[in-house]
Amino acid sequence: MSALPLASHSAMSGLDMALWDAKGKALNLPLYKLLGGSARPVPAYAGGVALGYQPPAQLIDEAAPHMEAGYKAVKLRVGDTVRDDIARMEAVRDAFGHDLEILTDANIGYNIAQVRQVLPEMDRLNIGWLEEPFPAHDHRSYAEAHGFGSTPLAAGENHFTRFEFTRVLEDDVIRIWQPDLSKCGGVTETMRIAAMASAFKIPIHPHSSMTGVNQAASIHLLAAIENGGYFEADVSRANKFRDELGSEPWRIGKDGCVRPLEAPGIGVEVDEAFLKAHPAIEGPGYV
């Protein structure tokens, strides 16, 4: 399966998730119980706050309501100029203090020289991780950047199946793993990836933007693995596939955590009329 194109990975992942959902409904059990988990709180970070490169003051204004809602962590987009990225991180740190965990995602927007500059500044600002500074399979750049600072490098949303994570494990430079259930093989394969990572004390912080189904499934999985990290809460302003695809997939608590749904299976009741109004188009996609 690891040699398949993205569309095939997404299709296989969707089928796997659908089968788990069907099994849960047949047994009248929520997914997290099928996986051996418990209804424990799962810490969440506010993702999708900075999808553009806002001025620092605007970024603070956009982040503030999420902090008030209960989030204890936020992810910022970097990959602009190093100077401007540092200014945004400094502004958020100054505005919300050191109790807020700041995470960053470069969306493969950096080169080696920029990472050499920015990682020491991230160390100074106590940034939680730098996500995908380079393309997923640029192993040489990740290995070189690993020595530039102590801020962990994160990746995984574009690694498919445990077989691609094997190379990540062997290189031992990406210490934050972010498999996406809708691309890496569904619930079944992500559980295998998590087990592999667990043996080496590597935390799993699933990439889980896009649909409410994927987000809800990710919370179930995090409630069932011993090395579960953050749930990526998509707080972007407009996401119909989060808000209108089906029933509410999650809700943030004042403790900064989400909890798995108690309904059977994944727990999201899909609106069939919404699906008919938004037919699939050719190309890669998410579950």
CB contact at 8 A, 10 and 213 = no
DSSP letters of the chain?
A: -TTS-HHHHHHHHHHHHHHHHHHHHHHT-BHHHHTT-----EEEEEESS-SS---HHHHHHHHHHHHHHT-SEEEEE--S-HHHHHHHHHHHHHHH-TTSEEEEE-TT---HHHHHHHHHHHHHTT-S-EE-SS-TT-HHHHHHHGGG-SSPEEE-TT--HHHHHHHHHHHT-EEEE---TTTTTHHHHHHHHHHHHHTTT--B-----S-HHHHHHHHHHHTT-TTB--EEEE--S--HHHHTSBS------TTSEE----SSBT---B-HHHHHHS---SS----
Can you give the residue range of the structural domain that contains 222?
6-262
Q: Tell me if 242 sits within 8 A of 212, measured CB to CB.
A: yes
Residue 1 within a domain: no
Spatial distance between the Cα atoms of 183 and 226, rounded to a whole number of angstroms: 22
Q: 251, exposed or middle or buried, with CB in 10 Å at 0-12, 13-18, 19+?
A: exposed
User: Measured between alpha carbons, how far is 182 from 17 in angstroms, rounded to an integer?
Assistant: 8
Quick one: pLDDT band at residue 274, thresholds 50, 70, 90?
confident
pLDDT of res. 237: 80
Residue 277 lies in a domain: no
For residue range 52-99, list pLDDT tens digits in order: 789 999 999 999 999 999 999 999 999 999 999 999 999 999 999 999
Judge whether 280 lies within some domain.
Answer: no
Which tops the pLDDT comparison, 6 or 236?
Answer: 236
Question: Percent of the chain at pLDDT above 90?
Answer: 82
Chain segment 23-46, per-residue pLDDT in tens: 999 999 999 999 999 999 999 999
Q: With both helix axes pointing from N to C terminus, report the angle between 186-198 and 212-222 in degrees, rounded to the nearest 10.
A: 40
> Tens of pLDDT along 154-208?
999 999 999 999 999 999 999 999 999 999 999 999 999 999 999 999 999 999 9
The answer to whether 181 touches 210, Cβ cutoff 8 Å, is: no
pTM: 0.94
Res. 286: pLDDT tops 70: no
What region does 79 belong to: left with phi over 0, alpha with psi -120 to 50, or beta?
left
For residue 51, the model assigns a pLDDT of 67
Count of structural domains, the chain: 1
Let me know if residue 143 belongs to a domain: yes
Asked whether residue 269 is domain-assigned, the answer is: no
CATH number at residue 16: 3.20.20.120
- Whether 5 shows a pLDDT value over 90: the answer reads no
Task: Label residue 196 exposed, middle or buried (CB < 10 Å: 0-12, 13-18, 19+).
Answer: middle
The answer to whether 154 touches 131, Cβ cutoff 8 Å, is yes
84 found inside a domain: yes
Q: How confident is the model at residue 281 (pLDDT cuts 50, 70, 90)?
A: confident
Model confidence at 283, pLDDT cuts 50, 70, 90, reads low
d(CA 190, CA 13): 10
Q: What's residue 243's pLDDT?
A: 77
Average pLDDT of the residues in 119-131: 99
Residue 281, domain member (yes or no) = no
Distance CA 212, CA 258 (A): 13
Q: Does residue 155 belong to any structural domain of this protein?
A: yes
